[in-house]
Structure 1
Amino acid sequence: MLNIEPIGDCIPIRSARAAIVVALRALELPSDACIGVPLYCCPVVFKAIKAVGCNVRFIDVEPDTFCMSVADLEAKIAQIDAVVAVHMFGNVCDMQRIKVVAQGKPIIEDCAQSIGSAINGQMTGSFGDIAVFSFRSGKYLSVGEGGALYAKDDKILSSISQLVSELPVPGRMDDCMHVIKTYIRSILRSKPLWGLIGCRLWSAYNKSTAFAEKTPIAMTQMFRSDIAITSDRLAALNGLIEKQRGNADYFSESLALAFCKVPDEKTGAFYNRYLYPVMLSEAHDREAIVAYLLERKIGTIQPYKDIAEIAAAHYDYAGDCPMAEQVARRVLVFPCYHALKKEELQKIAQSVTQALQLTGPAAGSNELFMREAMDDPAQ
């Protein structure tokens, strides 16, 4: 067995999607097993499930967290052999209730967006049988690629370690090329190149590339360069989360969202605020808001807006997750990054307010307003 350098108590791997493949194999499920997974999540999760020959059973989501609906899971649990619980946007699934409803069936926690989030002081990733994490560009631990697996059970952890050790190890030339590509992607996604060319390139790529060709699952061990960067950046993680939560709190306190909904932390929960999602009312024109903010050089994300169409076209989705479809149509994410400066936070908040006023149910007389806290954003 090759000597795999651990990241904390976790086993590193090429990506979170590769981690899901390994996790499903480690559970030794039947090849045609049915895996329950929320419809509203990154579609690479579905791709990973299919890669091991399993079937996808879609579960609806809760409107107040955008995470898996326990009620819908309970209604479908008889059809399911294992569960992938996705902690969406850094919000947390109701893991205690999911474990009860799962009736002993294995649970994989997808913590790609929830590193640092917790429930009653217990970190996400420590509730299920296996947890997967992501260190891909844009995550809290942003290193280019990379992921990790964790399991409390020694037998499962040993199986994971064995499976990962059998994967190919990227060579030095591969590692060098990866570093160069990651650097180029990074500068294209940063100021000023993102506004000048990066945004257009990404848009053109999404329009011209078929879903099946996007985000392939490379089954290899993690690049050594990514392991080194991850280890170096782990020490700064708590500080980044604290800063980003401060930014999120500023937005929540500064905006009276009369026609929108922002997920509040449930009692006992701690959200890392990886993203700041706003659930628009049906009356808002999301595309108009996106265009308005883009004119002011504020980028936005419409996460997984085509997820129902993708799931229907590739994974036999039957249209039984109505809340997830609403969320996909109505959620908008605007910048909340820990690196934002005071004046940038103010500009974003003011612009979002104006955009919502112009596109809301009562444009021009919207009750949404800025509070005095606008003058004192979180530091």
Structure 2
Amino acid sequence: MVAVRQTMIPRFNYSYSLRDTWDCITGQLFNKKPNASYLNDLFPGADIYFVDSARVGIKYALLAFDLKPGAQIGIQPYTCSSVLAAIAAANCKPVFIDINEQLSLDYDDLQRKLPGLDALIVTHTFGIPAHITQIKQLSGQLPVIEDCAHAFHSRYEGVHVGNFFDAAVFSFGNGKFPSVGSGGLLVINRKKSSERVGAVLGKLKSSGLIRELTFAGRRFINALIHTRVGESMLYYLLNENFLSSKSQQLSGYPTHERQPYRSVGYAMQRQFTELKSMSIKQRENARYLIDGHNRHYKMLANVDDTGNSFAVVLLSQRRNELYSFLRKKGVGAGKHFQHAKSWAMQFGYQQGECPNFEQIVGEVLTIPCHYGLIQSDLRKIDQHLTDFAQTNKSML
């Protein structure tokens, strides 16, 4: 039996409560249909579809643009491999555009590569909005998708991301905000595209009772695994090489497309009134850590302080050492997308194609700031960041 010396502060919030499980069971038994009308205030004038996953949303957003086979899609290489899989599933090819230190599209590289693009995906990485005004000026009539997988409740100049271009995709998968365990949203801001999307998504097979209940059970167990004690057990049982190897695997595109779990709609509907306070809590947690340590580390934050914070992000050449230090101290830090270069190379990326990305991908570390943290968690993270900085003053 492994003796757990201390509990681990979870990197993200994986909560899936007994209430969520109960909502799933009763919703299925009484055949309730989730109501998504509450989302209209966030995306006025848009057509909104729940989808089985964000990657499914990206594929159908691309198909809605009615692009030719082999269409060239601009995308930053610092992204989830599931996005690249979705581009391939739509019979398109990625064109990799370099990133800046905000982990968003590099303006100059975008300008160079824009003439060869048929569509563009703009990623709001870790909920930090891209420079939308500049991108809109450059892109003109080019079809654009906002990848908002990390950015539900994030804002750009006071407006929710997802409202600025032709389409947007949000993710509610494991560890995302809000934590409902699966699925996502596809937001279509162009009527012609919406007609195509609605016709196709409506024909997908729906989940049956057994599949819905199995989903709820899996999500509840997964939430238990990612509690403080569960995360600690994983840390002591599984070595870093195993975890790194697992995270290196490509996220493929599903072999069978389905309509989203209705359980996700139930959970979203119930949590929606709490999302604003959850978002504020995450932003306050992030600001506490950033304000306390931006003199020690190169830290990233939302320009718009009304937006959500998915994680605290810092860039450090000593990322790996800081990661190991924090994990040993019980802080669930993460080397997010650490294998992004090897993923991109499987979709045609060439060495040296995006030099900023190749430098930055080895420096990114995420620190927890989710709404599940308590004050003692923040003090603990704060203290350990201080300890590492003081020990390595000249080398950060």
| TM category, shorter | 0.7 to 0.9
Partners of 1:190 and 1:169 in 2: CA distance: 31
CA contact 1:265–1:271 (8 Å) conserved in 2: yes
CA apart distance, 1:233: 1.1
TM-score by length of 1: 0.87
Q: Does 1:328 align with 2:366?
A: no
Please point out which of 302, 305, 317 is paired with 2:335: 302
Alignment CA distance shift 1:307-1:117 (3 Å): same
Q: Distance in 2 between matches of 1:338 and 1:197?
A: 22
Q: Deviations over 1:136-173 (max 9, x none)?
A: 12111111101111122222222221121121111111
Asked if 2 retains the 8 angstrom alpha-carbon contact of 1:145 and 1:226, the reply is: yes
Q: What per-residue deviation string (whole Å, max 9, x for no partner) do you get for residues 71-106 of structure 1?
A: 211110011110000100010011121122113110
**Conserved? CA contact 2:248–2:339, under 8 Å:** no
Partner of 1:157: 194
Return the structure number with greater relative CO, CA threshold 8 A, min gap 6.
Answer: 2
Residue of structure 2 in register with 1:123 after alignment: 160
Counterpart position of 1:313? 346
What SS does the aligned partner of 1:149 have? Answer: strand
1:287 is the counterpart of 2:302:
no
Cα pair distance change 1:236/1:218, threshold 3 Å: farther
Name 2:373's counterpart in structure 1. 340
Q: Secondary structure at the match of 1:361?
A: helix
Of residues 347-356 and 3-12 in structure 1, the stretch that sits farther from structure 2 once superposed is 3-12
What amino acid does structure 1 have at the position aligned with 2:289?
Answer: F
State which of 44, 50, 55 in structure 2 corresponds to 1:12.
50
What is the identity, as a one-letter code, of the residue corresponding to 1:190? T
In structure 2, do the counterparts of structure 1 residues 74 and 194 end up closer, same or farther at CA, with 3 Å as the change threshold? same
- 1:211 alignment partner, one of 245, 249, 252: 249
Residues in 2 aligned to 1:202 and 1:170: alpha-carbon distance in whole angstroms: 36
Distance (whole Å) between structure 1 residues aligned to residue 79 and residue 279 of structure 2: 22
SS in 2 for 1:235: helix
Tell me by how many angstroms 1:346 deviates. 0.7
Alignment partner, residue 235 of structure 1: 273
Distance 1:216 1:23, change over 3 A: same
Matched, 1:136 2:173: yes
Instruction: Describe the shift of the 1:62–1:40 C-alpha distance in structure 2 as closer, same or farther (beyond 3 A).
Output: same
Q: Which position in structure 2 is the counterpart of 1:273?
A: 309
Query: Identity over the aligned pairs, expressed in percent?
Result: 26
Alpha-carbon offset, residue 352 of structure 1? 1.3
Q: Kindly tell me: are residues 312 and 90 of structure 1, through their superposed partners in 2, closer, same or farther at Cα, counting changes over 3 Å?
A: same
Change (3 A) 1:293 1:212: closer
- Structure 1 CA distance, aligned partners of 2:86 and 2:350? 16
Paired AA for residue 54 in structure 1: C
Query: Under a length normalisation based on structure 2, what TM-score does the superposition of the two structures give?
Result: 0.84
Give yes or no for contact 1:140–1:240 (8 Å, CA) kept in 2. no
Query: Is 2:220 the counterpart of 1:187?
Result: no
Contact 2:96 2:349 in 1 (8 A): no
Give the Cα separation in 2 of the matches to 1:302 and 1:212. Answer: 16
| Residue equivalent to 1:26 | 64
The equivalences for 1:32-71 within 5 A come to 32-63=70-101, 65-71=102-108
Asked whether the 8 Å contact 1:107–1:130 carries over to 2, the reply is yes
> C-alpha separation between the residues in 2 aligned to 1:217 and 1:147?
18
Q: Give the superposition deviation at 1:253.
A: 1.9
The C-alpha deviation readout for 1:335-362, integer Å capped at 9, x for no partner, is 1111211111111011012123334535
In the alignment, residue 278 of structure 1 is paired with which amino acid?
L
CA separation in 1, counterparts of 2:62 and 2:291? Answer: 42
Residues 191-248 of structure 1 show CA distances to partners (whole Å, capped at 9, x for unaligned) of: 2111113775696465258734657465211101111111111111110110111111
Query: Residues 212 and 306 of structure 1: is their aligned pair in 2 closer, same or farther, counting only changes over 3 Å?
Result: closer
Distance 1:359 1:315 in 2: 38
Counterpart CA distance in 2 for 1:314 and 1:330 is: 23
Letter paired with 1:336? C
Q: 1:356 aligns with which of 354, 370, 389?
A: 389
Change (3 A) 1:264 1:206: closer
Alpha-carbon distance in structure 1 between the residues aligned to 2:247 and 2:162: 33
Question: What 5-or-longer segments of structure 1 have no aligned partner?
Answer: 367-379
Structure 2: which 5+ residue stretches go unaligned?
1-32, 41-47
The answer to whether the Cα contact below 8 Å between 1:34 and 1:82 also exists between their aligned partners in 2 is: yes
Number of equivalent positions: 355
8 A Cα contact 2:301 2:313, kept in partner: no
One-letter amino acid matched to 1:33: A
Partner of 2:291: 253
Contact 2:61 2:167 in 1 (8 A): yes
- Counterparts of 2:85 and 2:236 in 1: how far apart (Å)? 25
Deviations 1:8-29 (A, max 9, x none): 2421010111100111111111
